[in-house]
């Protein structure tokens, strides 16, 4: 079985000035269905790492294979296509469009995938049902709680049936109780075989993952 | 190389609905942004519409009356010595020229006392100009007969003592009806008033004169005096004035064409065109300036929108959007703003032209070639304005965009 993520001495240096070695050459392999937590202090390079995995950024050195595809060979447009199809993103700040309803926000996730509009609507509905928000389809982000917003964002990340879900502190903006429901959602996804990579500050959160990797001053280490 | 996954795509329909949603999510701002373009396009339509309307106005005045009138004047310093300027059959000769409708000789026969009673003592009564005119000349001046009739060739040939008066003058002299054959005494000579003129479209001064057949004047007071040269008025068909003017002197005096000074009206087309081009270039510059202002407005708003929506841009990139998809969306948003401005501006401009024309009692002339492309002018403005912001939006890196 092909690994979802295969990193071979991948590093990232921000050219600056002054140049910042945000990620030292790192090796990591993530198999399908694994739940990996990335922990580390602020400014240690967690987001840098996640952006590289998410094809939002390009490594300075090394090789990265996503689903067996060497992304170093790809043009920007090909990387965009791969990113849109294979990776779902969940951000700390939700990133919902404020003037669109929950349903429209989820449908937006499929906009660039050539999915016909009626199918987009159906799939968005299914995804929102999965995160138990089928009663809030027409709600605007401003009319929803933080937890609901993050669940909309998760539904949006799932609609393209990605092979990998990347979450950058998904509970960072939520209170403990709300965070718990969101984490349970991730747990359920993991139980059904979703591959998850989650950046977190919270050891409690990290404790539920299969694997924990730490990043300290740009140095990646497998903890367990 | 071949893509490992299907490339990202964005259908035109989805692009259009995304762009429209982007514009409509802030309707107030969209309206304000489009305002500059509204003003610019409206100015454009108003300027061209008014130019066409005024141009039509100018030409309708000049074409119908002025542009069909040719004047011929005796230039002789001493007609007594040189003999009459116009031959006996002057009107006949001129009418033989192709394009001539009417022609006739007339001259000013000086100011003479005019009275409704045969007073021996003429002191204290008013003097009025007397005009000697052939029947053809009178007809060519297009008087409107209020009462009675104009004199004809018979009156002229037999030098009948008849006269035409302007309405106001007739009233002053106490003449309102002609059935009793009233007479006026011009320098003591009784003349029967056979017609009262209500209006004279050409030569309005006719209304303030006593118009007498030329032969009658010659019989009573002699030929044209020195300093009051005899003239000829030639009415032509529309568009024939220039050609007629070039032939009339030779037709009248093949022996001495130089004795006659012929005045043709300015070519109405060149007159109208020169007026139109002056106005056009001036106001088009104004319209372009307004459009420029409109363009800056749209460019500014779109640019601000790009900055405000960097998060959205990053998000779309994370869904697989290409840079070109982002650029197309912002470009289309500004094109929509421009088109909206163009459409509203065209309506405002057209209505303004109609309103202005209505208050002036003009016929509004709004040429389709100005109205139909006018909204497109807004579109072009919007696209030009959107180019730079769209380019900037396409270049925003997804990582940058997703940082908060
Ligand atoms: N675009 C950039 N240019 C230069 N330096 C950068 C850039 N982005 C991040 N850095 C630096 O790289 C280092 C790692 O940043 P990163 O955002 O990955 O940290 P993080 O672990 O996600 O921190 P946090 O927990 O606060 O989100 C930091 O020192 C940061 O200042
Ligand atoms: Mg971070």
Closest C-alpha among B402, B308, B21, B399 to residue A108: B21
Cα nearest neighbour of A89 on chain B: B318
Pocket of ligand 1 contains residue A200 by CB under 6 Å = no
Q: Which atom of ligand 1 is nearest to the CA of A45?
A: 18
Instruction: Say if residues B338 and B389 touch (Cβ distance below 8 Å).
Output: no
**Which of the 8 DSSP states describes residue B223?**
S
Residue A180: alpha-carbon gap to chain centroid: 18
pLDDT band at A112 (very low <50, low <70, confident <90, very high): very high
Partner residues linked to B145 by β-bridges = B197
Does residue B177 lie in a domain region?
A: yes
pLDDT > 90? residue A102: yes
Is B176 in the A-facing interface, judged by CB distances under 8 Å? no
Instruction: For residue A30, report the distance from its CA to the centre of ligand 1, in Å.
Output: 23
Q: What is the pLDDT of residue B56?
A: 65
- Residue B77 is assigned to a structural domain of this protein: no
Give one DSSP letter per residue of B166-204, joined into a string: EHHHHHHTT----TT--EEEETTEEEEEEEEEEEESS-G
Domains plus CATH for chain A?
33-42+76-222 (3.40.50.300)
Answer whether residue B66 is part of any domain: no
Mutate which: A73, A111, A157, vs B, most B CBs within 10 A: A111
Tell whether ligand 1 has an atom less than 6 A from the beta carbon of residue A48.
yes
Residue B118 to residue B367: CA distance in whole angstroms? 62
**A109 has a chain B CB within 8 A of its CB:** yes
> What residues in A contact B318, CB-CB < 8 Å?
54, 56, 83-84, 87, 89
Question: What is the crossing angle of helices B268-308 and B27-64, to 10°?
Answer: 180
Neighbours of A197 (CB within 10 A): 26
User: What is the distance in A from the centroid of ligand 2 to the CA of A214?
Assistant: 13
Positive/negative CA dihedral, B189, B193, B194, B195: positive
Residues B48 and B185 reside in one and the same domain: no
Residue A152: the pLDDT is 94
Residue carrying structure tokens 């011009």: B186
Place of tokens 């964005």: B10
Give the number of C-alpha atoms closer than 13 A to the C-alpha of residue B239, restricted to the C-beta side.
0
Alpha-carbon gap: B336 to the closest alpha carbon of chain A (Å):
19
CA B270 to chain centre: 12
Number of domains in chain B: 2
Q: Are B93 and B217 found together in one domain? A: yes
Is B336 part of any domain? yes
Report ipTM (2 d.p.).
0.93
Q: Is the CB of A46 under 6 A from ligand 1?
A: yes
Nearest chain A residue to B404 by CA: give it.
A93
Give yes or no: residues B126 and B239 share one domain: yes
Q: Compare all CA atoms of chain B with the CA of A58 and give the residue at the minimum distance.
A: B399
Do residues B161 and B235 share a domain?
yes
Q: pLDDT per position in chain B (404 positions), as tens?
A: 555 778 888 999 999 999 999 888 888 888 888 888 888 888 888 887 877 777 666 655 555 566 788 888 888 777 777 778 888 888 888 888 888 888 999 998 888 888 877 765 555 577 888 999 999 888 888 888 888 888 888 888 888 899 998 888 888 888 888 888 888 888 888 889 999 988 777 777 778 889 999 899 888 888 888 778 888 899 888 777 878 888 888 888 888 888 888 888 766 555 556 656 666 677 778 778 878 888 888 888 888 888 888 889 999 999 999 999 999 999 999 999 889 999 999 999 889 888 888 887 777 777 777 778 888 888 998 999 899 999 999 998 888 777 75
CB contact under 8 A, B318 and A78: no
Give me the pLDDT at residue A93, please. 86
Q: Which residue has the higher pLDDT, A191 or B370?
A: A191
Chain B residues touching A94 at Cβ < 8 A: none
Kindly state if the Cβ of A42 falls inside 6 Å of ligand 1: yes
Cβ neighbours of residue A43 closer than 8 Å, sequence gap 6 or more = none
Interchain contact, B14 vs A109, CB within 8 Å: no
Choose the residue to mutate in A48, A49, A57 for probing ligand 1, maximizing ligand atoms within 8 Å of C-beta: A48
Q: Answer yes or no: do B393 and B305 share one domain.
A: yes
The Cα A25–Cα B343 span in angstroms is 58
Asked if the bond preceding B400 is cis, omega within 30° of 0, the reply is no
- One domain, residues B23 and B53: yes
> What residues make up the domain containing B380?
12-61+270-403
- Residues from chain B that touch A97, judged by Cβ atoms under 8 A, are 312, 315
Place of tokens 């007397």: B130
pLDDT of the residue at B271: 57
Q: What percentage of chain A exceeds 70 in pLDDT?
A: 100
> Does residue A47 have its Cβ closer than 6 Å to ligand 1?
yes
User: Quick check: A101 and A148 in contact, CB under 8 A?
Assistant: no
Out of B5, B315, B320, the one facing A95 most closely (by C-beta) is B315
Nearest to residue A101, comparing CAs of A77, A136, A128? A136
Q: Are residues B226 and B97 in the same domain?
A: yes
Residue identifier of the C-alpha nearest atom 11 of ligand 1: A22
> Which among B157, B147, B150 is positioned nearest to B179, based on CA atoms?
B147
> Vertex B111, ends B133 and B233: CA angle to 5°?
25
14-73 in A: which are within 8 Å (CB) of B? 51, 54, 56-57, 69, 73
Decide if B237 contacts B245 (C-beta within 8 A).
Answer: no
Task: Choose among B57, B54, B51, B40: nearest CA to B348.
Answer: B40
- Domain end among B194, B217, B252: B252
Query: Do B150 and B37 belong to one domain?
Result: no
Comparing CB atoms, the residue among A57, A80, A93 nearest residue B399 is: A57
Residues in chain B closer than 8 A to A93 (CB atoms): 311, 404
Mutation site, A95, A103, A161, interface B, largest B CB count within 10 A:
A95
Q: Which of A80, A82, A108 sits opposite B4 (nearest CB)?
A: A82
Our mutation pick for probing the ligand 1 site, out of A40, A46, A51, A57, counting the most ligand atoms within 8 A of Cβ, is A46
User: What is the distance between the alpha carbons of residues B19 and B325, in angstroms, rounded to a whole number?
Assistant: 11
Q: Which of A23, A37, A43 to mutate for ligand 1's pocket (most ligand atoms within 8 Å of CB)?
A: A43
Same domain, B40 and B139: no
Please give the backbone phi and psi of residue B212, each rounded to the nearest 5 degrees, phi first.
Answer: -130, 145
Give the whole-angstrom CA distance, residue A99 versus residue A141. 8
The rounded distance, in Å, linking the Cα atoms of B92 and B103 is: 8
Residue nearest to atom 27 of ligand 1 (CA): A42
Same domain, B101 and B221: yes
Report the SS3 class of residue A38.
Answer: strand
Q: Is the CB of A22 under 6 A from ligand 1?
A: yes
Same domain, B232 and B284: no
Domain termination residue (choose one: B185, B219, B252):
B252
Top pLDDT among B4 and A203 is at A203
Contacts of B315 in chain A (CB under 8 A): 95, 97, 108
Residue B278 has a pLDDT of: 64
Residue B333 token pair: 């948003």
Size of interface A-B (CB pairs under 8 A): 97
Kindly report the average pLDDT of chain A as a whole number.
Answer: 90
Q: Give the CA radius of gyration of chain B.
A: 36
Ligand 1 mean position, distance from CA A77 (Å): 25
**Structural domain includes residue B216:** yes
Stronger pLDDT, A138 or B5, i.e. the higher one: A138
Single out the residue of B283, B237, B240, B250 nearest to residue B45, CA to CA.
B283
- Where does residue A64 rank: exposed (0-12), middle (13-18), buried (19+ CB within 10 A)? buried
For ligand 1, whether the C-beta of A44 sits within 6 Å is: yes
Residues B178 and B239 occupy one common structural domain = yes
B1 in any annotated domain:
no
The reply to whether B264 falls in a domain is no
Residue A43 CB less than 6 A away from ligand 1: yes
| Residue B263 lies inside a defined structural domain of this protein | no
B7/A111 Cβ within 8 A: no
Distances (CA, A) of A105 to A88, A115, A130, A167, B30: 14, 15, 15, 18, 22
Alpha helices in A56-145 (DSSP H): 76-86, 102-108, 117-130
The secondary structure element, H or E, covering residue B109 is strand B100-115
């Amino acid at each position: 079985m092909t690994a979802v993520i295969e990193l071979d001495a991948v590093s990232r240096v921000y050219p600056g000035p002054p140049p910042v070695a945000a990620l030292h050459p790192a090796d990591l392999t993530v198999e399908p269905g694994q739940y990996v937590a990335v922990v580390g202090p602020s400014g240690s390079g967690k987001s840098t790492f996640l952006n590289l995995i998410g094809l939002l950024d390009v490594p300075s050195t090394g090789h990265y294979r996503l689903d067996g595809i060497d992304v170093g060979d790809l043009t920007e447009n090909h990387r965009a296509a791969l990113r849109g199809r294979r990776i779902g993103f969940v951000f700390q700040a939700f990133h919902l469009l404020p003037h669109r309803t929950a349903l429209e926000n989820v449908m937006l996730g499929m906009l660039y995938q050539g999915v016909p509009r009626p199918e987009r609507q159906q799939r968005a509905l299914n995804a929102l049902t999965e995160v138990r928000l089928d009663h809030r389809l027409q709600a605007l982000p401003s009319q929803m709680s933080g937890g609901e917003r993050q669940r909309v964002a998760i539904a949006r990340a799932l609609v393209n049936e990605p092979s990998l879900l990347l979450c950058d502190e998904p509970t960072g903006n939520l209170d403990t109780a709300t965070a718990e429901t969101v984490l349970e959602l991730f747990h359920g996804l993991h139980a059904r075989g979703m591959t998850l990579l989650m950046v977190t500050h919270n050891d409690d959160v990290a404790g539920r993952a299969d694997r924990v990797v730490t990043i300290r001053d740009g140095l990646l280490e497998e903890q367990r | 190389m071949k893509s490992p996954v299907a490339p990202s795509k964005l259908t035109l329909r989805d692009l259009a609905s995304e762009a429209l949603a982007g514009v409509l999510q802030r309707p107030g701002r969209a309206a304000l942004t489009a305002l500059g373009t509204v003003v610019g396009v409206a100015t454009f339509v108003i300027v061209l519409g008014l130019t066409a309307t005024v141009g039509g106005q100018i030409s309708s005045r000049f074409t119908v009356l002025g542009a069909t009138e040719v004047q011929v004047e005796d230039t002789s310093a001493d007609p007594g010595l040189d003999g009459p300027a116009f031959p006996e059959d002057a009107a006949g000769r001129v009418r033989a020229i192709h394009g001539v409708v009417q022609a006739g000789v007339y001259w000013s026969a000086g100011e003479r006392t005019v009275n409704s009673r045969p007073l021996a003592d003429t002191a204290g009564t008013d003097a009025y100009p007397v005009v000697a005119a052939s029947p053809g000349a009178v007809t060519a001046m297009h008087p409107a007969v209020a009462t009675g009739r104009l004199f004809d060739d018979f009156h002229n040939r037999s030098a009948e003592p008849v006269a035409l008066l302007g309405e106001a003058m007739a009233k002053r002299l106490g003449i309102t009806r002609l059935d009793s054959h009233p007479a006026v005494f011009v320098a003591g000579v009784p003349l029967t008033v056979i017609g009262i003129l209500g209006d004279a479209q050409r030569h309005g001064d006719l209304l303030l004169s006593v118009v007498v057949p030329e032969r009658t004047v010659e019989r009573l007071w002699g030929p044209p005096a020195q300093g009051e040269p005899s003239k000829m008025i030639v009415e032509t068909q529309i568009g024939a004035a220039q050609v007629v003017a070039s032939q009339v002197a030779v037709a009248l005096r093949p022996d001495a064409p130089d004795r006659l000074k012929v005045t043709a009206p300015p070519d109405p087309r060149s007159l109208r065109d020169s007026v139109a081009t002056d106005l056009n270039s001036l106001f088009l510059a104004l319209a372009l300036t307004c459009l420029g202002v409109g363009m800056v407005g749209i460019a500014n708003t779109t640019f601000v929108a790009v900055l405000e929506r960097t998060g959205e841009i990053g998000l779309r990139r994370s869904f697989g959007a290409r840079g070109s998809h982002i650029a197309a969306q912002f470009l289309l948003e500004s094109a929509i703003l421009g088109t909206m401005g163009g459409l509203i501006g065209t309506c405002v401009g057209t209505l303004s032209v109609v309103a202005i024309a209505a208050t002036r009692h003009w016929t509004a002339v709004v040429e389709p070639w100005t109205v139909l492309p006018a909204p497109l002018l807004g579109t072009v403005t919007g696209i030009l304005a959107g180019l730079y912001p769209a380019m900037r939006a396409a270049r925003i890196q997804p990582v940058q965009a997703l940082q908060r």
